[in-house]
Structure 1
Amino acid sequence: MSSTSEFLWYIPNQVKAGHRGEPAAENHNSLATLTGQAKALEEHGWKGALIGTGWGRPDTFTVAAALAAQTTTFEPLIAIRPGYWRPANFASAAATLDHLTGGRVRINIVSGKDNLAAYGDSEGDQAHRYARTREFMRLVRRLWTEENVSFAGEHFVVTESSVVPRLAARPGRRHPRLYFGGASEAAERVAATEADVQLFWGEPLDGVAERIERLKALSRTLDRDLPPLEFGLRITTFVRDTTQEAWADAEAKVAEMARSSGTGWHDHHRANAVGQQRLLDLHARGEVLDDNLYTTPGKFGGGGAGTTWLVGSAADVARSLRKYADLGITHFVLSDTPYLSEIKRQGSQLLPLLRDRLAA
């Protein structure tokens, strides 16, 4: 694994209790509960956590700011949507939080479909949506790195705009990293030109390898003028003390999903999203792909990062993640439920193995 590899978790940002097998609890999204997860991440070797976005969830930026204020090293990967935010408003908010936290902000730009009308937004077809996203990312980066920015595009306009506070120069980054996802041709063109990190769902190794090579080629074809695109993996890691115990527990959880029709697992279950459909189609290739990529959850309601799981002992899962790292993945966003106990288990069992391999 690369010495620059980073390991993040996932903090659920949900109004309803119970999420991807998480036991329902009355205080599941209280400041105390979420802070407990963020502090556990600090204590067990994680860099930070992705915090998801979507209309009908608590506001992601507010949650991230609250958790950052309660911690010292925790880095929130804040999911945000163009359209929900205007570029200059967002650039200012992110620069402010980055300043207040000493440079701990990361951003995940989300362009998938949402309930746009509910928050007063509208957009056209896929080409329009991703053109707006590309313009948003380019303008935000300019606002972070230039002063007195004037810009008149198809979607956004600013005049003599200087964001304050100005972002401080920090080792290894000019500004908060912009993570991005999406598997359609339109999404990949945005990633190739504007993203700092492309996130993949848990696809088999051959699919990830093919996408990495395509994105690298696109970056050259489209004359990318940024540092080389980096790559990340967002996946469920189902870890137990032994291989046998992991598979028994994973199959039992899927059986419960089948009985409940995937209740609580549908937050990304949109067949019209290209990346999600790729995952949902995997179980047709087999229940287990590569060494231990379990595809059956997607058959019974698993969506997004819950569609496929890497299942096994810590050594099994570390071995699989190493194979993704060998393809060029350097950012890992892992999770399983119950969230708090798995933060501790995987921080204690999985991360040391990954770091030992990194050192080797």
Structure 2
Amino acid sequence: MSLEFLWYIPNQVTPGHRGEPVSADHNSLETLTTQAKALEEHGWTGALLGTGWGRPDTFTVAAALAARTSTFEPLIAVRPGYWKPANFASAAATLDHLTGGRVRVNIVSGKDDLAAYGDTEGDQADRYARTREFLQLVRKLWTQQQVTYRGEHFQVSESTVEPRVVSRPNRAHPTLYFGGASEAAERVSATEADVQLFWGEPLDDVRERIQRLRALSDELGREHAPLEFGLRITTFVRDTTEQAWAEAEAKVAEMARLHPGTFADPHRRTAVGQQRLLDLAARGEVLDDNLYTTPGRFGGGGAATTWLVGSPEDVATSLRKYRDLGITHFVLSDTPYLREIRRQGDRLLPLLAE
């Protein structure tokens, strides 16, 4: 199976995201389009667009960037409580039609400022039960007509999405990515997702999770094509190993100065996957060959919690080891975003294509 390499575009209201230089036009259409076009020019398939209340609407940003590009594929993060499944299925089918099949979707079930847009909290089991129904119904609406569905959370009657999603080589509909490390999340992924995304965990941990998810798929009677796997991680690449580590350690020292043990994200320690990453620091500052865990101690969250650090050759070697475990989708990033899109596209991706 071929490998796919995507990046990350930070649709943020506040400038300076993860070390990106502060500028007044950081989230303008021109700035984001420049990044999307650079991705096309430097070997990337597309980019993940994050979601959350208080950020620019992810679907709107994705549609705007798709209109200004020709091959860029937005991986659009969406929340089941923000969208109703039929509304989302229709919107995504329309954008997929207009772009010639360039839409990808990342379903997010983690906590957010739900009350701000009229959603309710629910316990973990309830959240993932709703996510399961969302995935089931969106897929049905993309692949069937006159759909009637009666779930606990969502219902539709004789619903047909127009325009129809066109089945294309290697995908019957927009690929459905999903993350989550809890038992409830993994049971949803094993049966309903197309791609399970992992954060930057050590190789042995990823191997164990892939084995468990494959076994769960069999146990729970997965009805779709075999589950695929992806890695979302920061790749801190410099010309040499020595330069990479010197700059990585200097950047973490600056993070420690700015964030001495305080974090803005109230959900930082409630998500199982995030907590798994934070716990890695207790096992060592560097795991495997070059998985740097210290950023998570000083404000690094999500993909910025752990970094793969090194020369292009070092990082390519590490990514190949994840590939050998079964990872075929890679969502990479580092800041400044535009510089790293170009540099890693030119220096790292050719090594992974060999």
Q: Which bin holds the TM-score, normalised by the shorter protein?
A: over 0.9
CA distance in 2: counterparts of 1:169 and 1:180, whole angstroms: 21
Number of aligned residue pairs: 354
Write out aligned runs for 1:167-182 (5 A).
167-182=165-180
Aligned residue identity for 2:250: A
2:261–2:298 contact (8 Å) kept in structure 1: no
Paired position in structure 2 for 1:30 = 28
Write out aligned runs for 1:88-167 (5 A).
88-167=86-165
Structure 2, gaps ≥5 residues long: none
CA distance in 2: counterparts of 1:268 and 1:80, whole angstroms: 20
Question: Is the counterpart of residue 219 in structure 1 residue 223 in structure 2?
Answer: no
Equivalent residue in structure 2 for 1:49, among 31, 47, 50: 47
Equivalent residue in structure 1 for 2:341, among 337, 340, 343: 343
Structure 1, gaps ≥5 residues long: none
Structure 1 residue matching 2:145: 3-state secondary structure: coil
Aligned residue identity for 1:68: A
Structure 2 residue matching 1:25: 3-state secondary structure: coil
Identity across the alignment (%): 78
Shift of 1:207: 0.4
2:285–2:292 contact (8 Å) kept in structure 1: yes
Paired position in structure 2 for 1:62 = 60
Q: 1:48-69: per-residue Cα shift (whole Å, max 9, x none)?
A: 0000000010000000000000
**TM-score, normalised with respect to structure 2:** 0.98
CA distance in 2: counterparts of 1:336 and 1:50, whole angstroms: 13
Structure 2 residue matching 1:348: 3-state secondary structure: helix
**TM-score, normalised with respect to structure 1:** 0.97
Q: 1:213-266: per-residue Cα shift (whole Å, max 9, x none)?
A: 000000000000000000000000000000000000000000000000079985
Equivalent residue in structure 1 for 2:273, among 272, 275, 284: 275
CA distance in 1: counterparts of 2:106 and 2:262, whole angstroms: 23
CA distance in 1: counterparts of 2:267 and 2:309, whole angstroms: 21
Q: 1:144-202: per-residue Cα shift (whole Å, max 9, x none)?
A: 00001011110001011000000112111110000000000000000000000000000
Aligned residue identity for 1:71: T
Aligned residue identity for 2:230: G
Instruction: Please report the RMSD computed on the Cα atoms of aligned residues, expressed in angstroms.
Output: 1.3
Equivalent residue in structure 2 for 1:294, among 292, 295, 298: 292
Paired position in structure 1 for 2:321 = 323
1:269–1:304 contact (8 Å) kept in structure 2: no
Q: Structure 1 residues 266, 40: closer, same or farther in 2, change over 3 A?
A: farther
CA distance in 2: counterparts of 1:176 and 1:338, whole angstroms: 29
Aligned residue identity for 2:148: S
2:111–2:267 contact (8 Å) kept in structure 1: no
CA distance in 2: counterparts of 1:164 and 1:92, whole angstroms: 7
CA distance in 2: counterparts of 1:64 and 1:186, whole angstroms: 29
Q: Structure 1 residues 119, 265: closer, same or farther in 2, change over 3 A?
A: same
CA distance in 2: counterparts of 1:228 and 1:27, whole angstroms: 42
CA distance in 1: counterparts of 2:218 and 2:40, whole angstroms: 38
Q: Structure 1 residues 327, 265: closer, same or farther in 2, change over 3 A?
A: farther
Shift of 1:123: 3.5
CA distance in 2: counterparts of 1:182 and 1:176, whole angstroms: 20
CA distance in 1: counterparts of 2:280 and 2:292, whole angstroms: 9
CA distance in 2: counterparts of 1:299 and 1:263, whole angstroms: 7
Write out aligned runs for 1:1-20 (5 A).
2=1, 4-20=2-18
Q: Structure 1 residues 262, 240: closer, same or farther in 2, change over 3 A?
A: farther
Aligned residue identity for 1:237: T
Q: 4+ runs of 1 displaced by more than 2 Å? A: 262-269
Structure 2 residue matching 1:236: 3-state secondary structure: strand
1:49–1:76 contact (8 Å) kept in structure 2: yes
Q: Structure 1 residues 254, 190: closer, same or farther in 2, change over 3 A?
A: same
Q: Structure 1 residues 267, 164: closer, same or farther in 2, change over 3 A?
A: farther
